[in-house]
Structure 1
Amino acid sequence: MNQKFLIQLLKTASPSGEEVEIQKKWITYVKEFADEIRTDPIGNAIAVLNPDAEFKVLLAGHSDEIAIMINRMDDDGFLFFEKVGGLNPKSAVGMRVTILGTKRTITGVIGVNAQHHGGLKGDFDVDDLFIDCGFQSKEEAEQHIQIGDMGVYKTEPEILMDRYVAGRGLDNRTGAFIVAEVLRRLKERGCKVGVYAASTVNEETNMGGAYFAAARVEPTMAIACDVTFATDYPTVNKKKHGDVKLEGGPVLAKGAPIHSKINLLLENTAKDLEMDLQYELTPRMTGTDADRMRLTGKGVPVALVSLPLRYMHSPVETVSLQDMEEEIELLTTMIANLNGTENLNVLEV
């Protein structure tokens, strides 16, 4: 597993809607082993093996991260913002941010009312917060920032005890990393089917990237590679939210959107590899790219394989390197074992 490439992705700002820079880095990496690289006007990047194969497997990991968007400036140069995706305002308090200004990149801090002056009371939202970049007037701010400019938390990914990775936006740059690594290993190992590894855009805001990727590829089957809620840390109610833990193995979804035959292929592969799996329930929707991919064309059989993640949508999301390696190996082996004649129909007439 190429940890250097993973860290490179995690260090690259990729607000939902502004994924160009991270997609360029992803393409540079995968073009060394892909048979073909495809892009589209939406911003998706797709690396392909065996493009002439009739049976096509689409793997989708989204490259965008939650962010902020500047919506106004006051006369004193303080910036105000709204959420891009599911940003948690309580996690934002006191954080440094990188504003990807139209004219230049600017560092700011999300200010907070001192506890001596009353602090923040009860429930609050981003409307109650502001960014201090050191500007002294609106006129000065406008020299560097425009309304609509985006920003991300200014943090660096960290390796914890040589086993975990912590940082912002692991949801879901880890997925974009995983699909690239699966493709690389399949190139080395060989496979009989067409494989389309997609680094998709806009999942955190509208999931349009995955829809358009699946509509163009017209896959036989699709697997979304995302993250899901780990519940193995203090304060989480496991009776309500289930029991999912780091180093417990990849997580398969079960529910109406999920195709049972794809899950069976994954489960049989895990059994052969003597690999533990975990499960999450998605009875109606998954809340991931899988929901949009399955609605394209004549309908696409989909599955969702997720990485357990602590502290969702915070600046310190945390995942296990072991779980990541196991997910890569699970998907690689399952796809390598496909012969291209598999029947995914659940009804035999």
Structure 2
Amino acid sequence: MDQPALEFLKALLSAPSPSGYEQPVQAVVREFADKFAAEVTTDWHGNVIAAVNPTGSPRIMLAGHCDQIGLMVKHIDDEGYVWVDPIGGWDVQMLIGQNMLIHNAAGAVPGVIARKAIHLLTPDERKQVPEMSDLWIDIGAKDKAQAEELIAIGDPVTFELGFRELQNGLATAPGMDNKVGAWVVMNALKQVAAGNPQAAVFAVSTVQEEIGLRGAKTSAYSIEPQLGIAVDVTHATDCPTVDKQKYGDIKMGSGPVVYRGPNVNPVMHEQLKSTSATSKIPAQIAGISRPAGNDANAMQINQGGMATAIVAIPNRYMHSPVEVISLDDLENAAQLIAEFCLSLTPESDFTP
């Protein structure tokens, strides 16, 4: 991955984006897309829509949701401790012992989530999995008044943000799900802009996927595409305790996953698979037997229906502070999608 692409990824992963609070990360997306897109707009829902050749045909939407799971400040008690509700789907055990950031207009307030020391836990307490309602954030405030000078009810909360490279081209950060999707669709669009597309290509950094695929619904309605590709993460199964028989054989660094199933237009799937073979872009094939839990679910049934595909990035430890992806998989996903878009003509037919 070249330095500008890597810096874009790091900037995305350093910007907070809990569902409904995506403005900081969307500012990063707009700054990147403004350099090559013919049009860059932000709708009132918060979706950032970048277009190349917007009057072309057919119209294709590339969706990568930028929101991450988070928390929301719900109560500040008299001692200055902060109580929260979840935004998105959490494994509560992932929160214990974590450095957290409470975000507001002035910046970020650091805090920690923990519980009483193991020496003080009863034998029964040691066996219990805590509920969200059992956890609090300690920002070091001496009382409620001091805490309220720093934070407010409704402020969003994330893990401490950042990016670390691991061995063999892997990288780890919270929020890989799915800031990497926004990275892929915008880099695919950049490659399309450098070509000679006949299609109108719209790359969308969608909002609020984690709370119901909401941004994909509104942006697809506005764009009116005939085709759509949703880019999200999927579970890598090349680590201990994950059942390949149940979830498929999906490896980090072996290319993006091109899904097939009832949520995927079969002609689009075959053309993506053919593009992978002829361009020698590594890809993995997997099946999903139901409507996906990602933006493709909403896109497929937009207005009169659209042909959809799913290109997914293998991800270890999803919805955790240490999500892991392969940088090679990101680059290969962007190239695969760009070449697919450049192959489209007004005569392209995706009738099943």
1:219, distance to aligned residue in structure 2 (A): 0.4
Deviations 1:35-72 (A, max 9, x none): 11122110011111111113111000011111011111
Q: Which residue does 2:295 correspond to in 1?
A: 289
1:103, distance to aligned residue in structure 2 (A): 5.7
Question: Is 1:131 matched with 2:137?
Answer: yes
Which residue, 239, 243, 261 being the options, matches 1:233?
A: 239
Instruction: For 1:43, give the aligned amino acid.
Output: G
The unaligned stretches of length 5 or more in structure 2 are: none
| SS of residue matched to 2:110 | strand
Moved more, 234-243 or 130-139: 234-243
> Aligned partners of 2:194 and 2:281: how far apart in 1?
22
The unaligned stretches of length 5 or more in structure 1 are: none
Moved more, 288-297 or 110-119: 110-119
Q: Which residue does 2:341 correspond to in 1?
A: 335
Deviations 1:107-161 (A, max 9, x none): 0000222110116432222112111000121222222222211110013210112
**Mapping of residues 148-167 of structure 1, within 5 Å:** 148-161=154-167, 163-167=169-173
**Mapping of residues 69-84 of structure 1, within 5 Å:** 69-84=72-87
Q: Which residue does 1:50 correspond to in 2?
A: 53
> Aligned partners of 1:186 and 1:300: how far apart in 2?
21
Q: TM-score, normalised by structure 2?
A: 0.95
| SS of residue matched to 1:189 | coil
1:208, distance to aligned residue in structure 2 (A): 1.0
CA separation of 1:120 and 1:138: change in aligned 2, threshold 3 A: farther
| SS of residue matched to 2:189 | helix
CA separation of 1:339 and 1:54: change in aligned 2, threshold 3 A: closer
**Mapping of residues 15-164 of structure 1, within 5 Å:** 15-101=18-104, 105-118=108-121, 120-161=126-167, 163-164=169-170
Question: Is 1:279 matched with 2:282?
Answer: no
Q: Which runs of 4+ in 1 moved over 4 A?
A: none
Moved more, 164-173 or 237-246: 237-246
Instruction: For 1:248, give the aligned amino acid.
Output: S
**Mapping of residues 144-293 of structure 1, within 5 Å:** 144-161=150-167, 163-293=169-299
| SS of residue matched to 2:179 | helix
Moved more, 83-92 or 222-231: 83-92
Q: Which residue does 1:6 correspond to in 2?
A: 9
| SS of residue matched to 1:303 | strand
> Aligned partners of 1:121 and 1:340: how far apart in 2?
62
CA contact (8 A) 2:46 2:207 kept: yes
1:80, distance to aligned residue in structure 2 (A): 1.1
> Aligned partners of 1:325 and 1:102: how far apart in 2?
34
CA contact (8 A) 1:113 1:120 kept: no
Q: Which residue does 2:320 correspond to in 1?
A: 314
> Aligned partners of 1:164 and 1:96: how far apart in 2?
23
Deviations 1:146-177 (A, max 9, x none): 22111100132101125011000000000101
Instruction: For 2:66, give the aligned amino acid.
Output: S
Q: TM-score, normalised by structure 1?
A: 0.96
| SS of residue matched to 2:211 | coil
> Aligned partners of 1:106 and 1:13: how far apart in 2?
12
| SS of residue matched to 1:334 | helix
CA contact (8 A) 2:63 2:203 kept: yes
> Aligned partners of 1:314 and 1:120: how far apart in 2?
22
1:282, distance to aligned residue in structure 2 (A): 2.1
| SS of residue matched to 1:249 | coil
Give the % identical residues. 35
Deviations 1:198-221 (A, max 9, x none): 011001112111111110111010
Moved more, 9-18 or 233-242: 233-242
The structure with the greater share of residues assigned to helix is: 2
> Aligned partners of 1:266 and 1:10: how far apart in 2?
28
CA contact (8 A) 1:270 1:330 kept: yes
> Aligned partners of 1:180 and 1:161: how far apart in 2?
26
Deviations 1:84-118 (A, max 9, x none): 11122111111011101366531000022211011
CA contact (8 A) 2:221 2:303 kept: yes
| SS of residue matched to 1:24 | helix
